[in-house]
Amino acid sequence: MTYHNPRTPPRKSWTFDDQTLAEIRRAAATGIYDIRGAGAKRKLPHFDDLLFLGASMSRYPLEGYRERCDTSVDLGTRYAKKPIRLKIPITIAGMSFGALSGNAKEALGRGASAAGTSTTTGDGGMTDEERGHSETLVYQYLPSRYGMNPTDLRRADAIEIVVGQGAKPGGGGMLLGQKISDRVAQMRTLPKGIDQRSACRHPDWTGPDDLEIKILEIREITDWEKPIYIKVGGARPYYDTALAVKAGADVVVLDGMQGGTAATQDVFIENVGQPTLACIRPAVQALQDLGMHRKVQLIVSGGIRSGADVAKAMALGADAVSIGSAAMVALGDNDPQYEEEYNRLGTTAGAYDDWHEGKDPAGITTQDPELASRLDPVAAGRRLANYLKVMTLEAQTIARACGHNDLHNLEPEDLCALTIEAAAMAQVPLAGTDWIPGKNRF
Amino acid sequence: MPTFDLATSELRDLNSALHSIPAGANDLEYEILNPRGSHAVAVGCSHPLNISVMGPVGYYCGGMNSEATISVKGSAGPGVAENMMSGMVVIEGDASQYAGATGRGGMLVIRGNAASRCGISMKGIDIVVEGNIGHMSAFMGQSGNLVVLGDAGEALGDSLYEAKIFVRGTVKSLGADCIEKEMRPEHHELLASLLQKAGVTGVETSEFKRYGSARTLYNFDIDNADAY
């Protein structure tokens, strides 16, 4: 008697899925880890896992077309002589000239200014175009100190000391040689065409006690005029926030792991740091424990896409949010109109993340003059302004529906969670229950 | 000559006064008494002042200096003359770590020793140290010159870009991609001018060795992974 083994459908491993197999083959073929731009792509608990409850018998909504819902925010009220006021609580995150084209930086400035908010420099210094087109410009103070000088420090409206970012808390950066044009090389005091490393930690201070003195120096250089932000990646948000306050920050910028980067190792992006949703409540708790909530402002970034995300972050206690990847999409990044060119690069619109290679068909993450010229900074700036206005209207719509006449009046109490994970991270009840995992018994 | 006594006046008033020099001012000599290790003394100056600091200072003295000449009659804490743009800072005593970090121009002279990471990420500054320097000095130095009359610690010039290093004494070890290079006539000329500007006498340029980047790590190569 012969044994007959009936055929079964081919079964692929969950552990060794197609993406994993492809990465193993890629690593074996090249001997180098995968470098890419953007933030974490893995599925993570996020704002989608939260819902607003809205008004009902016990809450009184506001009329959308008649009753005001304020969106403005003041940043830097703790120490700065000249705090900044933004019309909307959505800022543009730091992205460097070098990683982005000059036209893209100009478009960010135009869009942010039209919408009444700030934009931010990045590693590589401040360009005249960016300063000229940005009504409110935040100057990043980074470990590399590329382009750092006191003149630009003084012509900034605020200064953001970057300790870390969500895509790579604890990591530096690398701008590959193909993006080091003459101008980028000159701004960074480096030879053209070399791979330019951005250090992972500051060269002249270590730890929050030193940082306190560094902040003193910057305040003295700028005569105590400028708000000083400290940006941290989503690592240990309670202690990072508390230590930032102790070091003397006016504003804490907290960037979760969905926050993007111009380039770093994929393994870093996907495996280091915490989701944005998990970072907000510990940070707010730290501020509350120190009696500094609303006195030191909290800006949250990493995966903010819509007015709903804005409203949810603010309901959890943020004073404002910041966008980077979404702003790039508004400019034209990953636009399907360039699908054929994305295909030639071995990818597809919506998935393109080899920003470090400088071949961006949309002309945003490139220093190639021909590609960069594809982006009209005026039109792209208009698209960004439109997008920011839509996000603001959406957030206002939700706030009014919850009965609030200011986005800052949104509360955790306005929210429920769809999953146990989100309920635990956001510390709001699981929908249909009064259960907050870790806080009370089911 | 205006005098600020930090025992009785605020640091904020001192720096504000140094930033607010009226155009055409004749009185450009300033004296700072009783610094007593204060941080951020004479930072962000942008006028051709001559500032004498009569005692030791804390962190970041002369930070982001432009044009001013700052002379410290004592030792300096970490980060002296960090990110200096131009001008001159002279430390009569020793300097702590990160001296001249990320400096973009001007000259920093340290009559004593400098601790670790002297000239870290330097971007055009000239640094002359009459004594010894600590480990990891000129790490990722991009441009400028580091001159050491004494000895250098471990990992000198690690991951160096285009900064030049001249050492008269011994070097405990060189960092990744840093090598000894030939002292050609132009280097003797450059070194002589740096020593003269720093007010150093009694030494010959022939007593120095030059170190610079081997430039093998300028573009990532997996076969160099062991060097990182």
Residue A66, token pair as written in the block: 């008649």
**Residues in chain A within 8 Å Cβ distance of B222:** 30-32
**Shortest Cα–Cα distance, A206 to chain B (Å):** 11
Asked if A213 and B39 come within 8 Å (Cβ–Cβ), the reply is yes
The whole-angstrom separation of Cα A73 and Cα A272 is: 31
Asked if B59 and A190 come within 8 Å (Cβ–Cβ), the reply is no
Asked if B43 and A199 come within 8 Å (Cβ–Cβ), the reply is no
Interface check A195 vs B, CB under 8 A: yes
User: Measuring CA to CA, which residue among A110, A130, A114 is closest to residue A380?
Assistant: A110
Interface check A221 vs B, CB under 8 A: yes
With respect to residue A188, please indicate whether it lies within any of the assigned structural domains. yes
**Shortest Cα–Cα distance, B197 to chain A (Å):** 24
With respect to residue A343, please indicate whether it lies within any of the assigned structural domains. no
With respect to residue A55, please indicate whether it lies within any of the assigned structural domains. yes
What confidence score (pLDDT) does residue B219 get?
Answer: 77
The whole-angstrom separation of Cα B101 and Cα B138 is: 9
Interface check A191 vs B, CB under 8 A: yes
- To 10 degrees, what angle do helices A207-221 and A237-247 make? 40
- Tell me: pLDDT of B31 over 60: yes
With respect to residue A276, please indicate whether it lies within any of the assigned structural domains. yes
Asked if A177 and B219 come within 8 Å (Cβ–Cβ), the reply is yes
**Considering only alpha carbons, which residue of chain B is nearest residue A176?**
B219
Is residue B62 very low, low, confident or very high in pLDDT (cuts 50, 70, 90)? Answer: very high
With respect to residue B106, please indicate whether it lies within any of the assigned structural domains. yes
With respect to residue A282, please indicate whether it lies within any of the assigned structural domains. yes
Is residue A407 very low, low, confident or very high in pLDDT (cuts 50, 70, 90)? Answer: very high
What confidence score (pLDDT) does residue B157 get?
Answer: 97
Is residue A337 very low, low, confident or very high in pLDDT (cuts 50, 70, 90)? Answer: very high
Query: What residues are paired with A413 via a beta bridge?
Result: none
With respect to residue A89, please indicate whether it lies within any of the assigned structural domains. yes
**Considering only alpha carbons, which residue of chain B is nearest residue A35?**
B220
Sequence-distant (≥ 6) Cβ neighbours of residue B223 within 8 angstroms: none
- For residue range A82-129, list pLDDT tens digits in order: 999 999 999 999 998 888 999 999 999 999 999 999 999 998 889 888
User: Measuring CA to CA, which residue among A233, A232, A253 is closest to residue A76?
Assistant: A253
Asked if A149 and B82 come within 8 Å (Cβ–Cβ), the reply is no
Tokens 């290093």 found at: B165
Instruction: Name all contacts of B165-169 with Cβ < 8 Å and 24+ positions apart.
Output: B165/B137, B165/B138, B165/B141, B165/B210, B165/B211, B165/B212, B166/B191, B166/B194, B166/B208, B166/B209, B166/B210, B166/B211, B167/B208, B167/B209, B167/B211, B168/B203, B168/B207, B168/B208, B168/B209, B169/B132
Domain that holds residue B25: 3-215
Q: How far apart are the first and last CA of chain A?
A: 59
- For residue range A230-280, list pLDDT tens digits in order: 999 999 999 999 999 999 999 999 999 999 999 899 999 999 999 999 999
Q: What is the pTM of this model?
A: 0.95
What number is the average pLDDT over the span A386-404? 98
From the list A150, A177, A194, which residue is nearest B46 (CB)?
A150
What confidence score (pLDDT) does residue A32 get?
Answer: 84
What number is the average pLDDT over the span B194-212? 98
- Tell me: pLDDT of A188 over 90: no
What confidence score (pLDDT) does residue A179 get?
Answer: 65
- Any idea what the CATH number is for the domain that residue B14 is in? 2.160.20.60
Asked if A203 and B219 come within 8 Å (Cβ–Cβ), the reply is no
Q: What average pLDDT is seen over chain B?
A: 95
The whole-angstrom separation of Cα A130 and Cα B159 is: 31
Alpha carbon separation from A24 to A15, A30, A32, A43, B220 (Å, rounded): 13, 10, 11, 21, 20
CA pseudo-torsion sign A220, A226, A227, A230: negative
- Any idea what the CATH number is for the domain that residue A215 is in? 3.20.20.70
The whole-angstrom separation of Cα A280 and Cα B178 is: 44
- DSSP letter string over A347-384? --TTT---GGGS--TTSSS---HHHHTTS-HHHHHHHH
From the list B11, B161, B220, which residue is nearest A220 (CB)?
B11
What confidence score (pLDDT) does residue A178 get?
Answer: 65
b/e string for A385-413 if b means 16 or more Cβ within 10 A?
bebbbebbebbbebbbbbbbeebbebebe
**Shortest Cα–Cα distance, A197 to chain B (Å):** 9
What confidence score (pLDDT) does residue B226 get?
Answer: 66
Is residue A199 very low, low, confident or very high in pLDDT (cuts 50, 70, 90)? Answer: confident
From the list A153, A176, A203, which residue is nearest B102 (CB)?
A203
Per cent of chain A over pLDDT 70 is 98
What total of structural domains would you count in chain B?
A: 1
What number is the average pLDDT over the span A116-143? 94
- For residue range A4-54, list pLDDT tens digits in order: 888 899 999 999 999 999 999 999 998 888 999 999 999 999 999 999 999
**Residues in chain A within 8 Å Cβ distance of B46:** 150
What confidence score (pLDDT) does residue A176 get?
Answer: 66
Asked if B15 and A221 come within 8 Å (Cβ–Cβ), the reply is yes
**B1 CB burial (10 A radius; 0-12, 13-18, 19+):** exposed
> Could you count the other beta carbons within 10 Å of the beta carbon of residue B23?
5
**A66 CB burial (10 A radius; 0-12, 13-18, 19+):** exposed
From chain A residues 28-47, the ones with a CB under 8 A of any chain B CB are 30-32
Q: Where are the alpha helices (DSSP H) in A234-367?
A: 237-247, 266-271, 276-289, 307-315, 325-331, 339-344
With respect to residue A26, please indicate whether it lies within any of the assigned structural domains. no
What number is the average pLDDT over the span A302-308? 98
**Considering only alpha carbons, which residue of chain B is nearest residue A190?**
B142
Per cent of chain B over pLDDT 70 is 97
What number is the average pLDDT over the span A335-349? 97
Is residue A181 very low, low, confident or very high in pLDDT (cuts 50, 70, 90)? Answer: confident
Collapsing DSSP states into helix, strand and coil, what is residue B198? helix
Interface check A267 vs B, CB under 8 A: no
Which residues does B contribute to its contact with A (CB < 8 Å)? 11-12, 15-16, 19, 39-40, 43-44, 46, 58-60, 63-64, 66, 78-79, 82-83, 85, 98, 101-102, 104, 117, 120-121, 123-124, 139-140, 142-143, 159, 161-162, 218-220, 222
With respect to residue B225, please indicate whether it lies within any of the assigned structural domains. no
What number is the average pLDDT over the span A151-174? 93
Per cent of chain A over pLDDT 90 is 84
Asked casually if ipTM beats, i.e. exceeds, 0.90, the reply is: yes
From the list B12, B162, B219, which residue is nearest A220 (CB)?
B12
What total of structural domains would you count in chain A?
A: 1
Residue A259, token pair as written in the block: 């926050």
* Cβ pairs bridging A and B (under 8 Å): 106
User: Measuring CA to CA, which residue among B106, B143, B137, B141 is closest to residue B121?
Assistant: B141
Asked if B59 and A210 come within 8 Å (Cβ–Cβ), the reply is yes
**Residues in chain A within 8 Å Cβ distance of B102:** 145, 148, 203-204
With respect to residue B227, please indicate whether it lies within any of the assigned structural domains. no
Domain that holds residue A412: 45-332+375-426
